Every structure is written in C-alpha cells, then in structure tokens.
Chains A and B, each alone.
Chain A
Amino acid sequence: NAGVTQTPKFQVLKTGQSMTLQCAQDMNHNSMYWYRQDPGMGLRLIYYSASEGTTDKGEVPNGYNVSRLNKREFSLRLESAAPSQTSVYFCASRVLATNEKLFFGSGTQLSVL
C-alpha cells in the first residue's frame, strides 16, 4: 500500500498562474484534508472532505478550491497564485472525521514568485 500520494513534490509558479495539487489514498478512508505548513506555525486546514461527495472550508480557504473526485482522490486548486500561497502543502486522510489519526502524504513544496 502506498498510503497517501501527493503530486507534484515541488512546484514553482509565477503570480497569477494556476495549478492543481493532486492527492490520492489507497486505504479506503472516508475523510480527506488539505493543510498548509508555514515556518513557525502549526499546520492550518485549508479544506476538508468528511466523506465522498462533501467538501467544507477549513481555517484558511481563501484563494483555494477543492474537488473530491471520488473516494480515493482529493485535489486542491489555486486559481490565481499569490506569493502568500508559498508554503508546503500536505494532503491527509483518515477513516472517518472522528478522533482517528491522520495519515499524511509527503507534501508539495510550492513557491510563488
């Protein structure tokens, strides 16, 4: 089992460009999440999908959109990238949106110039 797979691992964008971060999990988890990690701060929730067919905003959703394509896949889209979106992005999943532990992908390091 690969667990949670994120692509790409690194990306450099110019201000105003768009891109989609891909995430897939093979653990049959119902809930999936997108976080960003910035220096000196805890991970912050961007969007989550408690179950297939639902998505909800997290703590910092502005400038992002998500799609829960199916039970396995949850993508994050930046429509018009801004330098403030320079960060490391992590996708995570867990069985249910309960107290279960999260399983994280390896992250995408994004730089917006």
Chain B
Amino acid sequence: KNQVEQSPQSLIILEGKNCTLQCNYTVSPFSNLRWYKQDTGRGPVSLTIMTFSENTKSNGRYTATLDADTKQSSLHITASQLSDSASYICVVSFQSGGYNKLIFGAGTRLAVHP
C-alpha cells in the first residue's frame, strides 16, 4: 500500500535552534517528493522538490535530503525563526494508470518559541 509517514507529529523548539523533520514513504513507482509548508489557516505552499537523482537541495534556511534506496527524506531547518511555526507536509508523487498521483503525509506541526 502506498503510504507516507512523517515524524515527529509535533515539535517545539526555541528560536535560533535547528531541527530536522522526517518523512518515510512506501510509494512506488516513485516520481518525486515535495515538502510543503502550511501556515495556520492557510493552504500549503511548496518549499522544495526532490527527484530520484537528487540527494540534497537547499532553499534558504531549509535543506531537504532524499535517500531513494531507504525511501526516506528529511527537512532540516537552520536557525529557526518564529515565522517557521507551521505544519510541514511531505508529498510523494507516483505514476498510476497514466496519471500523476500524490500521497500526502499527515504533517509535522512545528512550534518555534522565543
């Protein structure tokens, strides 16, 4: 069964600290993996995309990694800011019946405290 699991469910860190969010998937055949950020009361916004051949990609203070062999991805946030408080959603894309389909993780809720 195609699944995406994220950990931890929630996380509290102090402003300025780093953190790492995990995403494990069993989706096949894999097309790509995206991380989205969802602020409270808003829709998700794409942060970064990882394709099969990419190991690491950075977007400012966000760095995503992908290990296609172990089917794991991580999102590392450096020098956290209050504005990083949000849910982070891992989404894996795969091809089925000629269509591109998506499986969403349940998200990690991050709270950054001053």
Interface residues of A (CB under 8 A from B): 4, 40-45, 50, 90, 92, 97-99, 101-102, 104-107
The reply to whether B104 and A97 contact each other, CB–CB distance below 8 Å, is no
Partner of A42, one of B41, B49, B105: B105
Partner of A97, one of B42, B49, B100: B100
The reply to whether A42 and B104 contact each other, CB–CB distance below 8 Å, is yes
Q: Tell me which of A4, A41, A101 has the highest count of chain B C-beta atoms within 10 A of its own C-beta.
A: A101
B45 interface residue per 8 A CB criterion:
yes
The reply to whether A43 and B46 contact each other, CB–CB distance below 8 Å, is no
The reply to whether B43 and A97 contact each other, CB–CB distance below 8 Å, is no
**Interface secondary structure of A, over-half rule:** loop
By beta carbon, the residue of chain A nearest B3 is: A42
Residues of A within 8 A of B44 (CB): 43, 90, 102, 104
**A42-B4, A106-B41 given; 12 more Cβ-contact pairs under 8 Å:** A42-B89, A42-B105, A42-B107, A45-B102, A90-B43, A92-B43, A97-B100, A99-B100, A101-B49, A106-B43, A107-B42, A107-B43
Contacts A92-B43, A102-B46 known; A97 to B99 CB distance under 8 Å? yes
By beta carbon, the residue of chain B nearest A50 is: B99
Q: From residue B88, how far is it (CB to closest CB) to chain A in Å?
A: 12
By beta carbon, the residue of chain A nearest B45 is: A104
Q: Which 5 A-B pairs have the closest CB atoms?
A: A104-B43, A42-B104, A101-B46, A43-B104, A42-B106
Cα–Cα distance between A102 and B32 once the two chains are bound (Å): 13
B103 interface residue per 8 A CB criterion:
yes
Cα–Cα distance between A102 and B34 once the two chains are bound (Å): 10
Cα–Cα distance between A42 and B31 once the two chains are bound (Å): 19
B92-109 vs A, CB cutoff 8 Å, 1 = contact: the mask equals: 010000011011111100
